[in-house]
Structure 1
Amino acid sequence: MLYIPLWRRILILAVVLAGVLLALPNLFYSRVETANDARATIETGVTNPELEAQAALWPSFLPSNLVNLGLDLRGGAHLLAEVQVEQVYASRMEALWPALRDALAAERDTVGFVTREESEPGILRVRISDADGAQRAVEIARGLAQPVSGLTGGSASSLDVRANGPVLSIQLSEAERAATDERTLLQSLEIVRRRIDEAGTREPTIQRQGEDRILIDVPGVGSADEVKALIGTTAQLNFQPVVTTTSDANADVGTTEQLAPDASQEGLYYVLERSPVVTGDELVDAQPTFDQNGQPAVSFRFNTTGARAFGDYTAENVGAPFAIVLDNEVISAPVIRERIPGGTGQISGNFSVEESTNLAVLLRAGALPAELTFLEERTIGPELGADSIRAGQLAAVVGSLLVVVFMALTYGLFGWFANVALAVNMVMIFGVLSLIGATLTLPGIAGIVLTMGMAVDANVLVYERIREELKTAKGPARAIDLGYSRALSAILDSNVTTLITAVILYAVGSGPVRGFAITLGLGILTSVFSAIFVTRLLVVIWFDRRRPKTIEV
């Protein structure tokens, strides 16, 4: 019979009310966004009357989740970066040299003296004094290689070692290069994501494109230069022994040494041992702080391995300078006064508070394994986003009006019931989008507009079924009840197939396609709820009050 229990009525109304409350903050977008930002700042320990006033702009007892606006609606920065994976090859060879030198030195009776020769990046050339020991030297070098698993289940060596008389040429094998490329790109993706997330931006899009490129969309920032300043540096931190200082920018250095400029004093250069004692990879934490003179600085902490190496080196080299090198620039070169146990220290220099904070963010996120070259950069102004929003609103309003007019003219009072359910459906879509923190883009708006047309499709099926049942059923109550029950299978079939399409689009698509799939999928779920439960509840409430003998659909 045409009857809905009280508990079900209360549950339906509660779900609708929850949707309204969740969607409500989007009507006061700027105010809620300002309040959320102020509360997030206060939670970090920073507070002042201005922040407290901003936090009070929106009541704390109401939901404060917002639908995030995508790059095309909010404005922001679009970047396409290429990862210079060849730099990793050179770094691997630099790291291999100390181990190879020690391994060959252990067999000096066979191979003689070992010297390193100049070579192009990514290749390590070593000369031995006894040419007769070349074969043994090759075996020693190959012994330092690691297996590289292939797709076929076999394994290859990570090093390609060749001898040309007394000179050994060592480089990464093809299999290892392919594995390194993949590893480097995935690591770069994760580090870029962490750096941008640490900066507090909303819903950035960071995804792989091709074999060695990264697509970066960051809504809400002022320009692409801001994003480049955050992610464009490698932030490679090394702690290296100082050999000497010089004012000659073209000073000759040995193959085991490197020349690095002083970051704060122009014209001063440091000759450093090329192999670092500790690297930034062994950092586990970095925080902005102030030194003993009250100047901005960065405190850091190593992991167990780094702390042991740092402590041993400082114990053995008391009185010697020790360079802290960031991206091949010496930012500090203090003299070791005593052993530094525990793996903690401080980087001081001519920092501003903002610079020390950004440096701490970069170090915490980790060093990029290779440099990023920006092939494309574009700043989308908020004015363009505002135009897009207005265009989307116009499309939504026109589409809604057409649907409302059609339903009202075609089905009369029952059409207005469907229109009320359509409004509830729209509110619930935005409520769910706010709840999950989804990002709304122009394709997402298109998905919502499409959903409005599909939302009344279920009501059309029900009303047409009721028309048929009125011809045979005994009384309007029986016709309404049979119309809803017998149209249910057709409603579910049509919406499930569309939902499957939305899931496939989300699974195989990216960026705008996913935005369309999310709003389409959520719209299907909320439209089914509004058609089956909300519209029926309205009809039942009306029927209980009026008890008509006949009805017109």
Structure 2
Amino acid sequence: MRSTSTVALFLFVVVLTAAAAIAVWPSEPGRYLPGDFWPSGRGVKVGGWERETMRLGLDLRGGSYLVLEADPPDNYEGDLGEALDVAREVLERRVNEFGVSEAEVQSASGNRLTVQVPGMSLTDAQNLIGKTAQLEFRVITDANEVVPATGVVNGQTLTMSGQYLKSNTYPSRISTTYAVNFETTSTGAKLMEQITTRALQYAENDPRRLLLIYLDDQEISSAVVQSVISDQGQITGQPSFTASRNLSKQLNAGALPIPLKTVQSSEVSATLGEDSVRDSVHAGEIGLLAVALFMILYYRLPGLLAALALGVYTSLTLAVFKLWPVTLTLSGIAAFVLSVGMAVDANILIFERMKEELRRGRTLNSAIDIGFRRAWTSIRDSNVSTFITCLILYWFGDQFGAALVKGFALTLAIGVGVSMFSAITVTRTFLKMVVGTPLARNHWLFNAEETKSAGSGRAAAKAQEG
């Protein structure tokens, strides 16, 4: 007799699998499945959050990959880590403004940044990110136009920019709000004094009294001038400590821009990427069918249930990849296929223990419980070892900027985690659903009848000899 909890868990697995399958169903199924009668997938959309397709890496989608390294001058005295954080934000803003979707800019070891720009040629990518970030102060004119804030020093008209700030800017708290404190160089002090003196001629609610700060032609701060500023100043009214800290980082980096040099670059054509996706999906489909066929032929009914559990595993894993989202690469797909093998390996351990118990004459329900209990330690140790390996691979990939290694490690870890759920929970639930049915009494369906009969024959022969 099946328990209520088993039925409830079975229904939960069915609903979860259906939801995952709908979420990951491709928008162009005809590219990956035989026939042209398949409905098109629409992705997932909840409010303003949306996932239409899988996030693909450059080797599957095509695009450019660059590794940039900080190349500060010999007399640089600022915080290189903060400067790189701001440089990463600047690059992200640039590629997003260019209209590039799903571009990735990440920090790496050795004062480096990795940039992945899908769908863009290497030349365009280098031109886009190769510009030096410019931080400058601006004001609003009588004609309501935003123009650079300027002053006259030694007979020359100069624009107040980041090069006239010292790299010792820091955030602070004033009552319930936050502020950013900064200092200027000698030239910057003269410029700021002229700029703020002109601004104080206007009323406090007049836009001409505003002092604007722009980074890469994007406004990052707007403040009303309260007094004349020369060698020291304070930008008040920041909404949070995080906002004031971020502005402080941007001002520090703007005080002395960090040059970035390209130490590695590569480009993958979009056509090659599209072919790789299709071939990878086809290879995965063939692999899943081959594994399912082997399990059914060798383990019969448990093998069929394991094949169904494998379908559950595939849907859930791909759903995690899409909704997270995980950037899939060729190495990531290889890790996913490897995790399929590990999921099957767990089922094999369980089924072999079950067969032993059935041959000893136990009921199916008892054989399931004992089989899972005896196989659990082996499954646990195997998967923990794999998790540790994934952690080591991810760490090394992060240290050396090897995105392919990191992708392989992350994808394998997710696949192994879901495979444990599939083997321990899903397969067990499917087997429990068979308990109490006529199928449970047919040992041939569990590949346990032959050995049991042979054992009975030997016992009868010994009785006759006696």
Give the AA of the match of 1:10: A
User: Displacement of 1:535 after TM fit?
Assistant: 1.6
| Deviation, structure 1 residue 311 | 7.8
C-alpha displacement at 1:532, in angstroms? 1.7
The residue matched to 1:464 in structure 2 has which SS?
helix
- After superposition, give the CA deviation of every residue in 1:374-408 in whole Å (9 maximum; x if it has no partner): 35544323212112212321321232122122112
Corresponding residue to 1:188 among 87, 98, 104: 87
Over 3 Å counting, the alpha-carbon distance change for 1:314 and 1:550 in structure 2 is closer
Select which of 105, 129, 152 maps to 1:242.
Answer: 152
Partner SS for 2:272 = helix
From 30, 41, 64, give the equivalent of 1:77: 64
Task: Answer yes or no: is 1:515 the counterpart of 2:407.
Answer: yes
Q: Classify the secondary structure of the residue corresponding to 1:544.
A: coil
SS in 2 for 1:69: coil
RMSD of equivalent CA atoms: 4.2
Alpha-carbon spacing, 1:195–1:11, altered in 2? closer, same or farther (3 Å): farther
Pick aligned residue for 1:395 from 283, 297, 302: 283
Q: Aligned to 1:446, what secondary structure does the other structure show?
A: helix
Counterpart amino acid of residue 72 in structure 1:
D
Residue 543 of structure 1 pairs with residue 435 of structure 2: yes
Q: Which of 55, 66, 70 is residue 68 of structure 1 equivalent to?
A: 55
How far did residue 229 of structure 1 move?
2.1
Aligned to 1:108: none
Q: Report 1:307-386 matches (<5 A).
A: 312-314=193-195, 316=197, 318=198, 338-339=201-202, 344-345=210-211, 359-360=217-218, 366=250, 369-386=257-274
- For 2:90 and 2:161, how far apart are their aligned partners in 1? 24
Report the Cα offset of residue 193 of structure 1: 4.5
The secondary structure found in structure 1 opposite 2:132 is coil
Matches within 5 A, 1:223-238: 224-226=123-125, 228-230=127-129, 232-237=131-136
CA contact (8 A) 2:350 2:375 kept: yes
The structural deviation recorded for 1:464 is 1.0
Alignment partners' CA distance in 2, 1:521 and 1:276: 44
* Cα distance in structure 1, aligned partners of 2:326 and 2:16: 17
SS in 1 for 2:113: strand
Instruction: Tell me the secondary structure at the aligned position of residue 25 of structure 2.
Output: helix
Give the deviation of 1:272 after TM superposition. 3.5
Q: CA offsets per residue over residues 490-514 of structure 1, 9 Å max, x none? A: 2222222222222232233231112
After superposition, the Cα gap between the structure-2 partners of 1:477 and 1:19, relative to the gap in structure 1 and judged at 3 Å, is closer
- Does 2:8 match 1:18? no
Matched, 1:202 2:102: yes
**Residues 77, 397 of structure 1: alpha-carbon distance in 2 compared, 3 angstrom cutoff:** same
Q: Structure 2: how far apart are the matches of 1:311 and 1:373?
A: 33
**Does structure 1 retain, via aligned residues, the 8 Å contact 2:135–2:216?**
no
Which whole-Å CA distance do the structure 2 matches of 1:279 and 1:400 have between them?
Answer: 61
TM-score by length of 2: 0.66
Query: Any idea what SS the aligned residue of 2:353 has?
Result: helix
- Kindly tell me: are residues 338 and 280 of structure 1, through their superposed partners in 2, closer, same or farther at Cα, counting changes over 3 Å? farther
Quote the offset at 1:456 in angstroms. 0.9
Secondary structure class of the residue paired with 2:116: strand
* Larger radius of gyration between Structure 1 and Structure 2: 1
- Structure 1 339/382 Cα, relative in aligned 2: closer, same or farther at 3 Å? same
* Matched residue SS, 2:133: coil
Q: Deviations over 1:458-492 (max 9, x none)?
A: 11111111221122133444333322232222222
Corresponding position of 2:461:
none
Corresponding residue number in structure 2 for 1:219: 118
Match of 2:314 in 1: 426
Number of residues of Structure 1 aligned to a counterpart in Structure 2? 370
Any conservation in 2 of the 1:421–1:530 contact (CA below 8 Å)?
Answer: yes
CA deviation string 1:255-311 (max 9, x = no partner): x78xxxxxxxxxxxx6538998975998x9xxxxxxxxxxxxxxxxx967699x888
Q: CA deviation at 1:526?
A: 1.4
Does residue 272 of structure 2 align to residue 272 of structure 1?
no
Q: Aligned in 2, Cα 1:494/1:277: closer, same or farther, shift over 3 Å?
A: closer
Cα distance between partner residues in 2 of 1:184 and 1:59: 37
For normalisation by structure 1, the TM-score amounts to 0.56
- DSSP-derived class of the 1:237 partner: strand
Deviates more, 1:225-234 or 1:404-413: 225-234
- The CA deviation at 1:12 is 4.8
Query: C-alpha offsets along residues 143-166 of structure 1, whole Å, 9 cap, x if unaligned?
Result: xxxxxxxxxxxxxxxxxxxxxxxx
Q: What are structure 1's unaligned runs of at least 5 residues? A: 32-56, 93-175, 244-255, 258-269, 285-301, 319-335, 348-355
Equivalence for 1:132: none
Q: In 2, are the aligned partners of 1:4 and 1:540 still within 8 Å (CA)?
A: yes
Residues in 2 aligned to 1:481 and 1:315: alpha-carbon distance in whole angstroms: 79
C-alpha displacement of 1:416 = 1.1
In 1, Cα distance between the equivalents of 2:28 and 2:107?
29
Query: Which residue is equivalent to 1:473?
Result: 361
Identical amino acids, percent of aligned pairs: 31
CA contact 2:70–2:258 (8 Å) conserved in 1: yes
**Structure 1 match to 2:342:** 454
CA distance in 1, matches of 2:162, 2:346: 68
- Separation in 2 of the partners of 1:306 and 1:526? 54
Task: Tell me, yes or no, if the aligned pair for 1:232 and 1:372 is still in contact at 8 Å.
Answer: no
Deviation at 1:448, TM superposition (A): 0.6
Q: Which amino acid aligns with 1:272?
A: L
Inter-partner Cα distance in structure 1 for 2:289 and 2:196: 79
- Report the Cα distance in structure 1 between the residues aligned to 2:442 and 2:404, rounded to whole angstroms: 49
Q: Which amino acid is the alignment partner of residue 387 of structure 2?
A: L
AA aligned opposite 2:23? P
The answer on 1:500 being equivalent to 2:388 is yes
**CA contact 1:79–1:378 (8 Å) conserved in 2:** yes
Asked whether the equivalents of residues 22 and 434 of structure 1 are also in contact (C-alpha less than 8 Å), the reply is no
Q: Which amino acid aligns with 2:133?
A: T
